[in-house]
Each structure stands twice: as C-alpha cells, then as structure tokens.
Structure 1
C-alpha cells in the first residue's frame, strides 16, 4: 500500500470517527457524564485491518479533532484516548494472527483491559479533576465498571459484525480502493 493511500485511509477513518463521536448518549442516566459514542469502532476496524499503530493514530486524530471542535475538556479527551488504547491495543495485537477465536479472545481481553484500566485511572484523576474525595470515586466505581464494560462490548459486537464485511474493501492488498 502506498503512503498516499495509507494517509487517505487514516484521514477518512479519523474524520468518520470524529463525526460519529457526536452521536453520544449516557448508558446510565444517573451518571450522564459517562457517554457512549461509537467512534472507537472506526479505530478498532482500522487496527484489525492494518495495524494496532494505525488504529491508535485514528483514535488520536479523532480525539484531537473532538477536543478542538467540541469538547475543550483536555482531561476528558485524554481519558477517552487512554480508554480507547486500552481496548484497541490488546484486541488488535491478539487478533493479528487472525481467526474468529482469536478475534473473540481479543475483544474479551480488550474489554477487560479498558474496564480495569479506567477504574484505576478514574481513581487517580477524578479526585484531582473534580476535587472530590476518593470515597466519592468509590461510589462511582460500579457505574464506571458497568459503563466501560458495556461501551467496549458494544464496540466489539459491532466490529465483529462489520469487520469481515468491509475487510475485503480496506485490506492493504486490495488495489480496488
């Protein structure tokens, strides 16, 4: 694949991820600051087809664009990026050897990694960012765990469904792009 083609694909999928990041809604209304958006699916798809690094690049570009054009919340965007990396990196690395069993195992490890990692990150960041006691964070942990487990499970199921369908179009060896 040429560098120009790679740049174009990264650009298109970063833009798509940025646009679908505007489709957001809380999974749990009680903690409406935890909002689901399907944008990580684009980065996961690219990570599966090309490489984990390419997927992380799409994730980074999407988050920078969202920060600049909508959010303005650097802490939230960084946490979103870290969550995406914790999910996409293990899933894509495990899937790299291909096969449905490895793909499913990758999703499971990715969901567990992102869910566990975000528990730890929230315990460190939230007390400083929101200036609340750690005990308050502990009361939020069930919501944080549930949110991340659901969010990344949805992303996994959607990627599982669409990955094989779009792989033939996006594969590096396919010159019909």
Structure 2
C-alpha cells in the first residue's frame, strides 16, 4: 500500500510532463506552419524558368518539422500550409496540389531517413535523398498529371505551356525537354537551397524544440496527493 502512495506522485509528475511535451509540440508545429504559410507568399521567379515555376523558402519550416517530429508532422504542416493558400489560388488549386506533392516527397522522405539515422551524416544523407526523391517524383507527376491539370485550368494546349518555357529557355522544345530543362533543375536548386539552410539552422533550433519542459508541482496538486495519502491512511 505504501508503494502505491509513493508511486502516485511520480505517475502524476509523468503525466504532467507528457501533457507539457504534447502542448509544446503542438505549439511548435503551429509556429512552423504559420512560418511556412508566410514564406510561401515571398515567392520569386528564377532565371531560365517559366513563369509558372516560383521559388520560395516555405519548405524550410516543413523540413525542420520533419527532423524534429518525423514525416507525419511534416506532412501535416505541408497540408495546412497549402490549405491556407487554397482560397487565394490563381490556378484553381493545381499549384497548391503540386506544391503539396513536392513537399511530401521532399520532407516526407528526408524525415523518414533522419528518423532512423539521427547523426550529422544521417542529416546530410536524408537531405540528399529528399532532394532526389522530390526531383524524380515531381518530374513523374508533372509529366503525367500536373501539366495536364494546369492546361485544363488555363484552357491552353500543351504546346502553349511548352512555348512559355521555350521563351525563357530555348532548350525546351517539347514536354520531355520541359521536364528535363525546367522542372529537374528547378527542384534540384530548390532542394539544395532548402537542404543547406536546414543543415545550418536545425541544430540551434532543435535545442529549443527539444528542451525538456519543466513541470512544477502546484500547491493544488500537492494538496490532492496529501489528501489521497490521508484517505488511504484512514482506511488502513
């Protein structure tokens, strides 16, 4: 019986610690999602890239979430970020869908690898794998899905889409070269920049994210435990 009494405060402390950690996790994920959504507004065009390909740093908070909490949390950030931008979409959601797919491929695969190899080398490996998975995965999806959806939304044939890219890069002559000379270099550049920034900033940020929450025992908790002990003693 005395064992139960001594274990009860410890169990209560463990539960408070778990609750504090969960609250902290939700708060961090909320901050990362807000940062990602804001960064998505700061998009820029890149040289030799068609107008419909815009670069931004919104994947950086997603990648931080992937490293800190795993691929599922990263996908959640990616989803909410694109849902926030969906009402103001200029492409009837096609751009948001493509961005979501790219983010899932990038942060999802990188977060999965890093989850099992949490070292500096593991971080580098996961970022390289994430960049390659995103590049090849989005090439496939753009070739077979997103370019057609974009054409349907804009009401233009594939030749016109290719022509938009040809104006910026003469090497683009058809759908295949559009993928090769526009989407592949764009995603490699995007992956390289986000990966470099993630590698630089994650370590100092992770010290804050994974800081153990200090859970102080309040007077009311102490009173509850004392009352429980007195009650148990009376029953004995």
Q: After superposition, where does 1:19-98 map in structure 2 within 5 Å?
A: 19-71=38-90, 73-96=92-115, 97-98=117-118
- Secondary structure of 1:86's match? helix
Instruction: State the partner residue of 2:184.
Output: 145
2: CA distance between counterparts of 1:28 and 1:144?
13
Instruction: State the partner residue of 1:170.
Output: 209
Unpaired stretches in structure 1, ≥5 consecutive residues: none
**Deviation of the 1:129 alpha carbon:** 2.9
Larger Rg: 2
2: CA distance between counterparts of 1:112 and 1:148?
9
Instruction: State the partner residue of 2:150.
Output: 129
Instruction: State the partner residue of 1:159.
Output: 198
**Deviation of the 1:157 alpha carbon:** 0.3
**2:62–2:77 contact (8 Å) kept in structure 1:** yes
TM-score normalised to structure 2 length: 0.69
**Deviation of the 1:72 alpha carbon:** 5.6
Instruction: Name the count of aligned residue pairs.
Output: 175
TM-score normalised to structure 1 length: 0.90
2: CA distance between counterparts of 1:168 and 1:30?
38
**Deviation of the 1:69 alpha carbon:** 4.0
**Deviation of the 1:30 alpha carbon:** 4.0
CA distance 1:17–1:71, shift in 2 (3 Å):
farther
